[in-house]
Every structure is written in C-alpha cells, then in structure tokens.
Amino acid sequence: MKLWGGRFREDENKLMEDFNRSLHVDKRLYFEDIKGSIAHVNMLVKCDLLTRNEGESIKRSLLSILEDIESGTLPIEGDFEDIHSFVEATLTERIGETAKKLHTARSRNDQVALDTRLYAKNKALEVLEQIEDLQHNLVEKAKENNVIMPGYTHLQRAQVVTLKHHLMAYFSMLDRDRKRILNAIEILDESPLGCGALAGTTHTIDREMTAKELGFSKPMNNFLDGVSDRDYLLELTSGFSIIMMHVSRLSEELILWSSQEFKFISIDDAYSTGSSIMPQKKNPDAAELIRGKTGRVYGSLTSLLTTMKGLPLAYNKDMQEDKEPFFDALDTVLSCLKIMSKMISTMKVHTENMKKAVNDGFLNATEVADYLVSKGVAFRDAHSIVGSIVIYCEDHDKPIEELTLAELKSLNPLVDEDLYEFIDYQNILNKGIKVNLLK
C-alpha cells in the first residue's frame, strides 16, 4: 500500500521502490506511530471530524495492532514504504473504509516529525538513566577506594591525588552530559502534529489537545519549522558524542591501569577476553570497544550535519536519512554506558601498587618547592633547587622523603626537620589547599 500515487500515470519502478523504502529502519517507531495516531483520532472526534463510533473503531484496531506487534503475532515486514504505511494498511485490512479517515488533517510530514520526536524524547530519558547508573557506580567505587595514587600530566607522574578524586572527575564530566541531555529534552519538547505538509490544514483542529495528550509542553509555533526541524537529533547526537568522548577517556585509563606496566586495577573476567594463541593474555576488550565505537558516534553526528546543511524549507526526502545515524548513535551510547557501568562496579583496585607508584615518582617535589617558598625563597628559585634535589635522588635511587637531613641541607641549607612532615603524602592530601581532593 502507498500513501500516495493518484496523480501518477505509471507505476513506480521496482528499483525505485526498494531505494525509497525505509521500513527496515523506521519500524522501531511503531509504538510512537500508533500513540500519535490515537491522540490524533481523539482530537478529530472532539473537533467533529470523525464520529465517536468511527474514532472508537479506529482506536480499538490501533491498540490491537500494537498488541499484536509486541506479542510477535504481527511481524513488521512486507513491501511497505515505511512504518506509517504498514500501520495504515494493517488498519485498513482490519476495519475497512473507516481507516482511510485517520489521515484527515494530517500529513506524513508531520506524522514522521512527531514519531521521531516522541522516540527521541523517550530514548533520551533512557540515556539519562544509564548516565545516572554509571555515576552511581563511580561514586560507590570512589567511596571504597579513597587511596593515594599518582596524578598525571603528559602521562608522567605529577602530583599525588586519590583514586576517589580521579574517579569523581568522570562523575563531573557525566554530570555535564546529563545536563546537556536534559537541555536537549527541554528544547525538543514541542509537538509538530498539526503542521501538516508545511502549511497546516484548513480543518479546524486542536493542536493544544494533541500536544498535551502526547506529553509535550506546547505545539510548535511555525509549521515550516515543525516538519523540517531536526535540530533535536543533532543536539542529542552531539550530546552522545561528548558522552562517548568521556567514556572513551575513562576506557583509556582502564586499559592503561590494567596493563602489567601499571597494575593499578584488574578488569573483571566478565568484561575481558583472551587470546587465541597466547594463553596468558587477558585483554581489556570491553574498554577497547568503547574507545573504538566513539568514532562511530562521531560519524553519525557528521552524517546528520551533512544531510541537513543544504536543505531548503520545508521537508525534503534527504531527511529520511536522519534516522539511521541517530538510531545507531543512540544504540551505541546506550550499550557503551551499560558496559562501562558494569566494568566500574566489578573492577578490583590494587592499592599497594598505586602507593608504590606514588613513592617512586617524586610526587612531593612541588611541595618541597612550596616549603622553600615558605622559607622566603622565590618560587622560580625554589623550582630550580628542587630540580637539583630530584637529580640527586635519581642518581642515588632514593625518593625525596628518604634523603637524610644532612643530604637535604647539603642541597639547600634552608631545609630543616619540619620538611619531612610537610612533604608526607597523607599530610599533603589533608592540607587545606587540597582538601577538595578528598571530596
């Protein structure tokens, strides 16, 4: 069944039919399509564009179609152009001519826009749930592991931090992600139903009613914009891209930390794989896959931006290409958030290895400079002095805190016994200037 064709003298070429078909992609919109149609029917009845009996007949059949799809007795398949023609054809098959009245005061353009917007809103809420689940697991793992570890810049040991503080940095990133998705939901929360093809309808309809029934804050103001706006897909996919960037960075940390060179953590066997030839290997493939799939989501964003960049108002068939990249980005970000959440909740932390890395890394060198500043030395001079101390430590294979007072004084006479307390790692963390590290 086609939803168009009356003005054509010849049948569509079979190759064109296949090229034009999108059912295999947009079939996942069946729930939103039926939900939107039921709201539309309720409005048509209220506005006397359908009789009450006609409305009830259409709604009952739509609900039976929904039930049959979800039970598996009605597979979404066949030579239908899209999910909209599938639902309407099935409705016509079940109740006959009355089904043809469903499309009164509605275009496929505002129907497509409505279905996609409803789906995006619902799935964005699911992404929020997964972000919050990962945040919860980061907090729990952080609480369990308020232990010292090296903080890095340039992937070189820099200053002492805690694993708790390190993990909570990712909590903060995800909190910004959460706010971005919430903002996108707020912006997209407008109903395009009633915009028609691009110029509304000559029928007297109630757009406020359908917007309210479908859970939107209001109808869209401009009909042209209503059927051609895909900003919400771009904004959500942009948000997904930033989420993926964050979990990719965390994946990189987990990959490094689980290596034999670091040995800071162990990733649970459930989220690791082995080698087909090297029996000793335990590979962090879950983290590596997240890191790899990040580019896939970036590609979806670029695809959407490229599709939309040159389109005149209003609807153009190019926009059929909006769903596949959005769906792929959505599926990818949901699966990656779920896997990362499981990896964090099950990973084991090797605290002694972290402490050893702190002791071997001269991570209190900055505090030695601060100490000398407290004795009246200019910071630039203190920086140079501590550089000499580090060279001495490297030459004698000692950390700064294990140098004798005599050795320290030989390097700078201002050093006294109180330096040892000043550069103790736990004292460093407890100092007021770094109290935030423990939060």
Catalytic residue, from 172, 275, 384, 388: name it. 275
Pairing mode, strands 218-219 and 190-191: parallel
* Cα 59 from Cα 99, distance rounded (Å): 10
**What secondary structure letter does DSSP report for 12?**
P
User: Does the annotation mark 154 as catalytic?
Assistant: yes
Give, in order, the Cα–Cα distances in Å from 209 to each of 47, 113, 212, 213, 389: 10, 17, 5, 6, 75
For the residues of 25-74, what is the DSSP string, one character each? Answer: HHGGGHHHHHHHHHHHHHHHHHTTSS-HHHHHHHHHHHHHHHHHHHHTSS
Residues with Cβ within 8 Å of residue 266, at least 6 apart in sequence: 258, 347, 348, 350
Cα angle: 203, vertex 93, 27; to 5 degrees = 80
Pairing mode, strands 348-349 and 265-266: antiparallel
User: Does the annotation mark 275 as catalytic?
Assistant: yes
Q: Residue 100's beta-bridge partner residues?
A: none
Residues forming the active site: 154, 275
